[in-house]
Amino acid sequence: MRREPDGAGHRRIAVALRHVALEDLGPIARILEEFGWTASYCHASTEDLDDPLIVSADLLIVLGGPVGAHDTPAFPFLSKEIAPEYSQARAKKTAAARHAY
């Protein structure tokens, strides 16, 4: 079953935040495509999480991996990802997006 993009004809954007190169969306990628989403990847350790392409995404998918919040000393890039301000801003955007569809 294929769904059309949103009513304005725009495809919604999903960004998958990965922590290791082996992570991907797996079967979720096909489902997103079927429902009219365009998915891309961002590597948490090398890309700026404040990049407008990431910030403006309609959906941020944080992929699992071998690192966790307790690993921040070894992986400083996690600090931004788990910062309350970043999480809160993403949550507000998600809540707003839910009401738009």
Tens of pLDDT, residue by residue over 60-85, are 888 877 777 778 888 777 777 766 55
pLDDT tens, residue by residue, 19-43: 888 889 999 999 999 999 999 998 8
Pick from 65, 71, 63, 54: nearest CA to 28: 63
Q: Domain 12-100 is of which CATH architecture?
A: 3-Layer(aba) Sandwich (3.40)
Say if residues 16 and 44 touch (Cβ distance below 8 Å): no
Q: How confident is the model at residue 99 (pLDDT cuts 50, 70, 90)?
A: very low
**94: three-class secondary structure by DSSP:** helix
pLDDT of residue 87: 59
How far apart, in Å, are the Cα atoms of 70 and each of 7, 43, 73, 78?
42, 19, 8, 9
**For the whole model, what pTM was predicted?**
0.68
Q: Looking at 19-72, which runs of residues are DSSP E strands?
A: 37-43, 59-62
**62: three-class secondary structure by DSSP:** strand
**42: three-class secondary structure by DSSP:** strand
- For residue 5, pLDDT over 70 is answered with no
pLDDT of residue 63: 84
